[in-house]
Amino acid sequence: MRGVAVLGILAINVTGFWGPTLASFSPLLPRPDPGGTLWFAAAYVLFEGKMRGLFTLLFGASMVLFAEAADRRGAHADWVQARRLCWLALFGYAHYLLFWWGDILFPYAVCGLMALSLRRLEPAPLAAAALVLFLVSHGLDAISDIAGIAAEQRVLAGRGSPAEVAEQAAMMGRIAVSISADMRILNAGFLDALHLRFTAAPFLPFETAGATFAETFPLILLGMAALRSGLFTGEWSERTLRRIAVIGTGAGGALSLALIGWSWTHQFPLRAMFAMMGSLAALPHLLMAFGYLAALLLLWPRLASSAAAQHLAAAGRCAFTNYIGTTVMMTALFSGWGLALGGTLPRGLLPLFLLLGWAAMLVWPKPWLARFGIGPLEGLWRQLTWWKI
């Protein structure tokens, strides 16, 4: 499952490596590209938010597994876990500063530290608290976002009030500034890009943690509850898993298709696109993440002995190294200090780079693990967590 998730995350991140931040929100930024529009729509329905959600659920489950392992070793599980997450935060900040704005490790570490205080709750209240926080926070955001989308539609139809027209113009101005700043970093040399990130947005990982809190924190809690309820250990019936898989992927996929269909027929209005990546997509993301999770749990016993499944499992065991490694690989291809393909290459060609990244993530882990037993960054993280060098 973790192998599938880390491969799926690259399907979204590849756009962020290729272009400015806002290219991930609209196929029209930084410029229209017919082939890129089709890829954007496909990635939105299949991957956007769903694979990140799946990975976050697994991260929450891994926190419980780590605590149980620490208890068996006679260690203070919460203190060791806190140390582990602090190291992850440092890795995440370095990931941002050295390479890329889209780091998720830092938000995981911050939300994980907060989740420690709740890990001993029973699965039912833990899941209930997570769902209430997730649905209420995104529901309130959705009310505001729908009002903003309506105002944007009035402006685009020529019926907006002077205040709405001014607000829309201000938003477009901010977008232009953001794209210009991002392209400057994308096209810069390595040290210049590092300097620009540090001087222009040194606290961006903290801002990202705050902006994604309403998704990351509840999903970590849901992952913890799922593990403790026996979801990952065969205690849920196949009938229940089939229902979750069908309802989650079916309903979540239908909602995602409806959102991308509306935006396409309305020429991807920008305020609507921001909402469709956030509050309006929260429920379909959650449904499909659980749908994918249940489907993979059903498929694994039937496919575990196949070569493809073994490579996927190895990629998952090296997910930390694969996540950072694909950042290094893709930034070397797209950034100014590398081959400088970013921003000029047509967006429609990004699936080819995705396949390249997938091949890289699948090829090396199995022979590496056969020799060393653990991924390189996973091993370093473990040694730092347990104060071993």
Q: In sequence order, what DSSP letters do the residues of 282-297 get, joined into one string?
A: HHHHHHHHHHHHHHHH
Phi and psi at residue 189, to the nearest 5°: -70, 170
* 171/305 Cα distance (integer angstroms): 53
The answer to whether 151 touches 138, Cβ cutoff 8 Å, is no
Residue % of the chain over a pLDDT of 90: 94
Residue 170 has pLDDT above 50, yes or no: yes
Cα angle 201-205-210, degrees, rounded to a multiple of 5: 115
The reported pLDDT for the residue numbered 108 is 98
pTM of the model: 0.95
* Stretch 129-135: mean pLDDT: 97
Instruction: Give the model's pLDDT for residue 134.
Output: 97
Q: pLDDT confidence of 389, banded at 50, 70, 90?
A: very low
Task: Give residue 99's identity as a one-letter amino acid code.
Answer: F
The predicted structure's pLDDT at residue 387: 86
Q: pLDDT tens digit string along 70-100?
A: 989 888 899 999 999 999 999 999 999 999 9
Q: Which of 13-22, 27-36, 55-64 has the lowest mean pLDDT?
A: 27-36
* Distance in angstroms between the alpha carbons of the first and the last residue of the chain: 30
pLDDT exceeds 80 at position 245: yes
8 pLDDT band, cuts 50/70/90, is very high
Which tens digit of pLDDT belongs to each residue from 192-225?
999 999 999 999 999 999 999 999 999 999 999 9
Q: Using one digit for the tens of pLDDT, what is the confidence trace for 331-370?
A: 999 999 999 999 789 999 999 999 999 999 999 999 999 9
Where residue 14 falls among pLDDT bands split at 50, 70, 90?
A: very high
Q: Convert the pLDDT of each residue in 141-169 to its tens digit.
A: 999 999 999 999 999 999 999 999 999 99
State how far the Cα of 159 lies from the Cα of 128, in Å rounded to an integer. 43
Rounded to an integer, what is the distance from CA 63 to the centroid of its chain? 18
| pLDDT value, residue 119 | 87
Q: How far apart are CA 266 and CA 140, in angstroms?
A: 24
Q: Which two tokens stand for residue 200?
A: 């222009």
